[in-house]
Chain A
Amino acid sequence: MNHWYMLTLVGKDRPGIVAKVTAALYDGGCNLGEASMMRLGGNFTIMLMVDFERSSKALTDLIGPVAESLDLHLHLDRIEGRLHQHVEPDVRITVYGADRAGIVARVTGALAEAGLNITDLESMVGGSEDKPIYVMQIEGIAAEGIESLQAAVDVIRQDGVEAHLEPIDTLIG
């Protein structure tokens, strides 16, 4: 019987955070599951599945002092989760254009309407301070087929952003 928690840590980035946090978790008797760490706007962010047989309070007591010493905000959720729950995306959509308010909502709205179940989304703001560009890569499952998504992508393009869609055909060898 696993007791999974989702541990979220956010704070100013500095070298060595992952090593210190995971060492404390290991020393405290935790097993780690899947994790996603990203630097967003100069911030360190991580979401980490932690398998721990004791209470939420015990886990907070274990990791709290480490988080505090690293100036990290800590958030903990008990989750109904387990490993080996992967779903395979079958489509990738890349969107980019001059950064302006509402791009994500418009693009994801059109794609959701066309049957996209997003499995992975990441976006970056690049370009220069005075001419920012927004780049977004989305992977997902085309529940209503690729053609329906392609039509949505064509609509997104009329909105003044570049967008293209490519199928992901996973090769099993």
Chain B
Amino acid sequence: MAILEILTYPDARLKQESQPVENFDDELRAFLADLEQTMLAGPGGVGIAAPQVGRFQRIVIVDCSRTRKPVPNHGRLFIINPEITAWEGMASGREGCMSVPDYTGNVIRAEKISLHYYDPQGTPQQLDAEGYEARAIQHEIDHLDGLLFLDRLVSRRNDLFRRKVYQ
């Protein structure tokens, strides 16, 4: 296993769209192990996306079991080719990112989501997430579409909703 280098903005590669995974093989699973180790080595990160380490495939890891205050969570999730199939509610919360050091900002996210995805064996999975975990999943999936939380900032002073629709 290895700790991979995290790309940091303004690296233009963070703004590109990632492609779906087609081969659910040992190489993928070895990469997932490295990606997880990279996430754990970071400063309190609850998620990481493959493009953050320069691999432009639709792969994210989310683990909200390690937060300072316990939040509802599904433990460590390997999420491949994710698709959010339903959203409910909207809430503002503070976010930061390993690819954007030394800056945090307020972002509006759905409070509850339904997610369809594939696990590392290529088996279809489905889950419903809420609150902090839902926020983390949305933050990571944005990376797959070349979006950073900076693209979704709302006012630091007022939690204003921008006229921006979720994709």
Which residues on A are within 8 Å of B, measured CB to CB?
Answer: 84, 86, 88, 120, 122, 137, 167-173
Would you call B102 and A173 a contact (CB within 8 A)? no
A87 CA / B69 CA spacing, docked (Å): 19
Which of B19-27, B75-83, B88-96, B111-119 participates in binding chain A? B88-96
Task: Report how far A69 CA is from B49 CA in the complex, Å.
Answer: 51
Q: Which residues of A contact B47 (CB under 8 A)?
A: 173
Q: In the complex, which residue of chain B has the Cβ closest to the Cβ of A83?
A: B102
Q: Would A86 and B102 count as touching, CB distance under 8 A?
A: yes
Determine which of A84, A122, A137, A169 lies in contact with B67 in the assembled complex, contact meaning CB atoms within 8 Å.
A169
Asked if A171 meets B95 with Cβ closer than 8 Å, knowing A84-B102, A137-B157, the reply is yes
Chain B residue numbers with a CB within 8 Å of A173 are 45-49, 95-98, 136, 139-140, 143, 149
The one of B94, B102, B157 that contacts A171, using a Cβ cutoff of 8 Å: B94
B68 within 8 A of A: yes
Shortest distance in angstroms between A140's beta carbon and chain B's nearest beta carbon? 13
Q: Are B96 and A172 in contact (CB under 8 A)?
A: yes
Alpha-carbon distance between A5 and B140 when the two chains are bound, in angstroms: 39
User: Once the chains are docked, how many angstroms separate the CA of A41 from the CA of B143?
Assistant: 41
B101 to chain A, nearest CB (A): 8
Q: How large is the interface on B (under 10, 10 to 19, 20 to 34, 35 or more residues)?
A: 20 to 34
Q: List 11 A-B contacts (CB under 8 A).
A: A122-B157, A137-B157, A169-B67, A169-B93, A170-B94, A172-B42, A173-B46, A173-B49, A173-B98, A173-B139, A173-B143
Contact with A along B95-136 (1 / 0, CB 8 A): 111100011100000000000000000000000000010011
The smallest C-beta distance from B133 to any residue of chain A, in angstroms, reads: 10
Tell me whether B44 is interfacial, beta carbon within 8 Å. yes
| Whole-angstrom distance between the Cβ of B12 and the nearest chain A Cβ | 20
A172 / chain B contacts, CB cutoff of 8 Å? 42-46, 95-98
A21 CB to nearest B CB, Å: 21
Separation in Å of the B117 CB from the closest CB of chain A? 16
Given contacts A86-B102, A88-B104, contact A171 B43 (CB under 8 A): no
A137, closest chain B residue (CB): B157
Inter-chain CA distance A137–B155, complex, in Å, is: 13
A contact residues around B98 at 8 Å (CB): 172-173
Q: Which residues of the partner chain A approach B46 to less than 8 Å between Cβ atoms?
A: 171-173
> Could you say which residues of chain B place their CB within 8 Å of the CB of A171?
46, 93-96, 132, 135-136, 139
Most chain A CB neighbours (cut-off 10 Å) among B45, B102, B104, B156: B104
The CA-CA distance from A122 to B155 in the complex, in Å, is 13
| Alpha-carbon separation in the docked complex, A88 to B156 (Å) | 13
Cβ proximity bits B29-54 to A, threshold 8 Å, 1 near / 0 not: 00000000000001111111100000
Interface string of B137-148 (1 = CB under 8 A from A): 001100100000
Residues B140 and A168 in contact, CB atoms below 8 Å apart: no
**Bound-complex Cα distance A137 to B47 (A):** 30
- Using CB atoms, name the residue of chain B closest to A122: B157
